[in-house]
Each structure stands twice: as C-alpha cells, then as structure tokens.
C-alpha cells in the first residue's frame, strides 16, 4: 500500500516552495492586468493551475474549492461572500492568464536543489545533470495539429493525435526538472537541447544520449564551462 500525503501537508509544502510574493512578481513582470474586479483574479488562477497538477483526477471546481479551504489568505485573496465560479468561467480565467506568467514563475523559482548528502547527485564535485527528450500526445484539434503537427503515418491514414516535443534538463540526484522546452513535433531534439544549455553552469557534468551528440553540442557545452559526458553514435 503506497503512502498517502495529507492535503494539509501538501498545502504547507506549496506555500513554502512558492511564496505568494513570487506569484505577484511573476504577474507584474508579464503585466497581466485585471480589467475589473473578478471572482478569479490572476493570482488565484496561478494557484489553481499549480494545484491541478497535484489533483489531476479531480474537477477544476473541486480543486478550486480545496484551495480556498486549505491555503492561507496570503496565497488566495477572495472576498467574504466569494462563490465558486462555473467551469466556463474557470476556463476563461485560465485563457486570460496565458502561459507567460507560469513560465516566468518557473524561471524565478526552479533551481537544482541537491546537496552533498543527496545520493547520486555529484561525482568528483560535479553536479550531474541530464538532457533528455520525449513526445507527448495532445488533444486532437485542428489548432493543435496546425501548431504542433502529427507524426508520419501510412499513405491514406493519419496519426490519431498531434504530438508536442518536450526536451528537459534534469538534476540527476533529485530528478528535478530545472529547465524545459515544448515545441512542435517537427523540430528535432538537438535544436531544443542546444537552447537548454542556457541553464548549465560550471561545476556541472552534463550527460546526453547519442541522439543529441554533435560537434555543436560539445562546443556550446564547453563554452559554458560545463563538463560533459555523451554517448557517441555508432559508426556506419
């Protein structure tokens, strides 16, 4: 039987890891302006999006209700007679917020966290980090197909779902993703992996698979002052 973490402990962890002031700074940086006083202000929508990843099986309205009941007033600022909005209002609020605030918050807060006591995090004083890529099925819509594309298929057929390509930079000892890029399926992993080098530093050992190995990758990594260990493609 797997251990279950109580909601109160999760709420406490969220408030510790993501201070309310950081959310306010991210909103201000992207300049998400409230046209009028809304039942779902931008700060509350940010909290909702974070919580939805933790309670993905619950409805948006249930997650929102749990937030209001469980988090402190510093995190969720609502009026005394606040009522839970309908599903369409929540969807519209998420669309108004957009992706920029969440991206800004991610880059403000997420950093490698391993220390000398973390198993498998360091070798000879170098922090081990890994670049990897994957593809994700996304909802089958014309807009997603146009933006992200579909994988190839047999003549006269098409793939069931559009796909997005995800390339991530991970701290090995904690499995913490501290940088990531999502792009159309047609863009190769190598192109995105090069951009993720923005987050590597000296005293890191960057590892990658043979699919990412190239002269450009090696040169860019060395220019960042980062050590590397990459698998070399098989000679043909």
Say yes or no: 100 and 15 in one domain. yes
CATH number at residue 183: 3.30.420.10
Residue 176 sits at φ, ψ, to 5 deg, of -80, 125
Which of 125, 124, 159 minimizes the C-alpha distance to 145?
A: 159
User: Are 91 and 133 members of one domain?
Assistant: no
- Per-residue tokens: 160: 């069931």
Shared-domain flag, residues 104 and 127: no
Average pLDDT, the chain: 87
Q: Confidence class of residue 4 from pLDDT cuts 50, 70 and 90? A: low
Name the strand (E) or helix (H) holding 88: helix 87-97
Q: How many residues does the chain have?
A: 236
Clarify whether residues 13 and 86 are in a common domain: yes
Q: 231 pLDDT exceeds 90?
A: no
pLDDT (0 to 100) of residue 40: 80
Residue 163: enclosing H or E segment and its boundaries?
A: strand 163-171
Could you tell me which residue, 218 or 70, shows the higher pLDDT?
218
Question: 115 lies in a domain?
Answer: no
Q: How confident is the model at residue 156 (pLDDT cuts 50, 70, 90)?
A: confident
Distance CA 63, CA 45 (A): 11
Report how far apart, in Å, the C-alpha atoms of 126 and of each of 81, 171, 176 are.
Answer: 54, 11, 16
Q: How far apart are CA 48 and CA 178, in angstroms?
A: 21
Task: Specify the range with the lowest mean pLDDT, choosing from 83-87, 159-163, 195-199.
Answer: 83-87
Phi, psi of 105, rounded to the nearest 5 degrees: -65, -40
3-state SS record for 14-65: HHHHCCHHHHHHHHHHHCCCCCCCCCCCHHHHHHHHHHHHHCCCCCHHHHHH
39-48, 157-166, 211-220: which has the minimum mean pLDDT?
39-48
Residues 23 and 80 in one domain: yes
Q: How many distinct structural domains can be found in the chain? A: 2
Expressed as residue numbers, the domain containing 128 is 122-230
25 — phi, psi (to 5°)? -65, -40
Say what the pLDDT of residue 1 is.
42
Domain termination residue (choose one: 70, 86, 109)? 109
Q: Say yes or no: 90 and 150 in one domain.
A: no
């Amino acid at each position: 039987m797997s251990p279950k973490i109580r909601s109160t402990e999760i709420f406490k962890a969220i408030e510790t890891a993501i201070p309310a002031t950081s959310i306010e700074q991210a909103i201000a940086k992207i300049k998400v302006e409230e046209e009028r006083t809304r039942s779902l202000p931008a700060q509350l929508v940010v909290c909702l999006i974070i919580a939805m990843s933790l309670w993905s099986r619950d409805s948006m309205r249930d997650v929102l209700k749990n937030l209001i009941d469980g988090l402190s007033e510093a995190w969720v600022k609502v009026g005394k007679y606040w009522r839970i909005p309908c599903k369409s209002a929540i969807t519209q609020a998420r669309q108004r917020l957009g992706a920029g605030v969440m991206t800004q918050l991610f880059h403000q807060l997420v950093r490698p966290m391993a220390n000398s006591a973390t198993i498998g995090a360091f070798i000879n004083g170098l922090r081990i980090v890994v670049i990897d890529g994957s593809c994700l099925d996304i909802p089958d819509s014309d807009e997603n197909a146009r933006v992200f594309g579909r994988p190839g298929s047999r003549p006269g057929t098409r793939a069931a779902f559009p796909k997005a390509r995800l390339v991530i930079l991970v701290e090995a000892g904690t499995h913490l993703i501290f940088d990531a890029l999502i792009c159309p399926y047609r863009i190769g992993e190598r192109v995105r992996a090069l951009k993720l080098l923005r987050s590597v530093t000296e005293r890191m050992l960057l590892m990658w698979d043979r699919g990412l190995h190239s002269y450009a990758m090696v040169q860019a990594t060395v220019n960042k002052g980062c050590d590397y260990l990459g698998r070399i493609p098989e000679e043909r």
